[in-house]
Amino acid sequence: MEDLVRDGYVLTADPKRVDFTRVHRWLSEESYWAAGRSYDLVARSIDGSLPYSVFTTDGAEQVAFARAVTDGATFAWICDVFVDETHRGRGLGQWMIDTIVADLSDRGILRFLLATRDAHDVYRRSGFEDLAGAHRFMEIDRRPTRNAILGKP
């Protein structure tokens, strides 16, 4: 995917541009789903995924991040979507999601999955809907943040 430019921002899929320190801080300190996640774990998760980043046009600051975990052929899980608080409300999350779906669709991916506790409307605007056949899915979930993810005390 070539870099995209819009309204003073650049969206890139270049893994070399990811600011690992910033993304780690966002995920481990500011997200509910990855609270306390170690730097090493964040770095390994990014290295094993297709990362997408948004920067200010001058490239000085990374302001958003998301990654896709995929087999490259049939399926992609979009996760760790985060927009820096000072840049929210500008459509950057929507832009990232739409771009990820388009980029991976161009590669032949037909099925996308993601999970959210509180941004359903954002993802619906990108074509996501409630999981059909959710009763067919099973999981083992040992994450220490599981209750926070599910909105439980």
Q: By mean pLDDT, which of 13-27, 40-54, 139-153 is the weakest? A: 139-153
- State in words which class domain 4-136 has: alpha beta
The tokens for 103 are 């980029």
Domain spans of the chain, in order of start: 4-136
Give the pLDDT confidence score for residue 153 in this predicted structure. 84
Using an 8 Å Cβ cutoff, are 20 and 43 in contact? yes
pTM: 0.93
pLDDT, tens digit, for every residue of 18-41? Answer: 999 999 999 999 999 999 999 999
- pLDDT for residue 59 is more than 90: no
